[in-house]
Amino acid sequence: MGLLDQNKIEATLAECGPVHINRAREILARGRELKGVPPGDAIALLSVDDPAILSEIFETAHHIKDAIYGNRLVLFAPLYISNLCDNDCAYCAFRKANKDVVRRALTQEEILSETLALIGEGQKRVLLVAGESYTDEGLNYVFKSIDTIYRAKSDKGNIRRINVNIAPLTVEEFRSLHECEIGTYQLFQETYHEPTYRRLHSRGPKADYAYRLETMDRAYQGGFDDVGIGVLFGLYDWRYEIAALLAHIEHLEKKFGVGPHTISVPRIEPAHGAPLSYDPPHALSDADFKKIIAVLRIAVPYTGIILSTREGAAMRREAFGLGVSQISAGSRTNPGGYTHGDAEEAANPEARDAQFSLGDTRPLMEVIRDVVEHGHIPSFCTACYRLGRVGKDFMDLAKPGLIKHNCLPNALLTFAEYLHDFADESLRYKGFEMIETMIERDIEQKPVRERIRGILEEIESGKRDIFV
């Protein structure tokens, strides 16, 4: 039977026909208690098409996200260090069979340049990404790259936290990776439907469905507190994928006492040399995509939901209010893209060294401006990682809705740093106006308000990286 019972997943889907309006509202009422809802109830909500009930689903998701995380949006950027790969994933430009792709693994000097370019834009958090093949150095190449990124410093600051999306590892390898002091280990199953998975991953290490599915078990056993999972929507029926994703989460919670720190919800985007990516077999509509985001927030309220720059600006803007809590910004999906790429190249499906084309190619400042204009606070906070609020300790605060009392002050402080160091005059004015409003409106205790204002004065005088 393996880690997931495929027959049970199919049975859950078969039992969930159209949901009555009264049952939908009962599920939503339970969801507002911030304890999540069972997979069967989540699947029932996914069957809703009635506009009035959909509106209630969206409003409930917004309420839950605000109750747990507040109106923060955490920002980061992916840093691709290599597009070398031994796999043949049908939807990916990095697939080994693609002879058109320009292969490269960045040198440590190039990684340093990429990191300094990101720092120069205002980034503080990066997601290190590599294809499932390295240089002759093997995994040590990744370890050295992490060290290079952390050592990169300029008068504009440094990268304070690295999360990692690389190939599945053994338990011992995870222990070594954990010693590099990274944050979250992230990996997507791509599709949970095993026959589809085997057909679309025809060769290479990734062809082993079970080994990939068991990766998060090994990551926890190797010492990780936080893991991130996800599905690449468009490969198989999205209802099945969500049912399987929730079953995977149940498995992790039962076995390790903690679910995933993040869930990513990427949709297939065109990728050079990968014909399937131009015509996904199970394309996901915008309407269903928004419903998925909202239902995931209701079902797994404590988990961060990540939306990438695969999506265009309009969709990202709508998703902010549906439960998304983390977004990438100013992204490039090719090694060397921050020092040698541009927005036009990032949006080009025929780019020969990128993993896929991007829907949102705006620079970081323009994304932040948009976030602020729509009432959200941009955050570069890394305090939880650095103070040990990770894994179960984080969840113990997130589940009752207490984590935002830790995170909001740090969001305001990191945003103030960005405004002083990188923002233009218009954004600086709007940003500090928002910060003052949120201090008065959202920080209830007077001593905390006074402390935050005191730290803001220190930041204005030039001090950086102060967190509480």
CA–CA separation, 426 and 234 (whole Å): 40
What per-residue confidence (pLDDT) applies to 442? 87
* Structure confidence at residue 393 (pLDDT): 66
What are the Cα distances from residue 400, in Å, to 244, 289, 310, 408, 455? 26, 27, 32, 16, 28
Q: Look at residues 379, 404, 425 and tell me which one is the last residue of a structural domain.
A: 379
**CA 208, 259, 287, 306 torsion-angle sign:** negative
The reported pLDDT for the residue numbered 354 is 86
Residue 135: CB atoms within 10 A of its CB come to: 16
If one counts every other C-beta atom within 10 angstroms of the C-beta of residue 405, the result is 15
396 and 374 belong to one structural domain: no
Nearest to 234 by CA among 264, 209, 267: 267
Check whether residue 174 and residue 40 sit in a common domain: no
The rounded distance, in Å, linking the Cα atoms of 343 and 351 is 11
The verdict on 254 and 137 lying in the same domain is yes
Q: Is residue 308 within 8 Å of 328, Cβ to Cβ?
A: yes
Q: Please list, residue by residue across 208-220, b when 16 or more beta carbons sit within 10 angstroms of its beta carbon and e when fewer do.
A: ebeebbbbbbbbb
Residue 465 belongs to some domain of the structure: no
Would you say residue 122 lies in a domain? Answer: yes
Query: Could you tell me the residue range of the domain that residue 32 belongs to?
Result: 6-66
Q: Both 115 and 182 in a single domain?
A: yes
The span from the CA of 121 to the CA of 206, in Å, is: 34
Query: Is 466 inside any structural domain?
Result: no
Please give the pLDDT value at position 406. 76
Query: Do 12 and 108 belong together in one domain?
Result: no
> pTM score > 0.85 for this model?
yes
Block means of pLDDT (10 residues each) for the chain, 468 residues, are 83 81 95 94 94 96 93 96 95 93 94 98 97 86 97 95 97 97 96 97 95 98 96 97 96 95 96 94 97 98 95 94 95 93 72 87 97 96 74 67 76 97 98 96 88 95 90
- Domain-located, residue 330: yes
Contact of 197 with 244, CB cutoff 8 Å? no
Task: 324-327: list long-range contacts, CB under 8 Å, 24+ apart.
Answer: 324/65, 324/73, 324/293, 325/65, 325/69, 325/72, 325/73, 325/74, 326/73, 326/74, 326/75, 326/76, 326/262, 327/73, 327/74, 327/75, 327/76, 327/367
162 and 184 within one domain = yes
For the chain, counts of helices (H) and of strands (E): 21, 11
**Which pLDDT belongs to residue 6?**
87
Residue 160, domain member (yes or no): yes
In this structure, the answer to whether residues 40 and 182 fall within a common structural domain is no
Indicate whether 41 and 84 sit together in one domain. Answer: no
Per the structure, the count of domains in the chain is 3
Maximum Cα interatomic distance, the chain, rounded to a whole number of Å: 62
| 155 shares a domain with 137 | yes
CA distance linking residue 69 with residue 328, whole number of Å: 17
Whether residues 368 and 437 share a domain: the answer is no
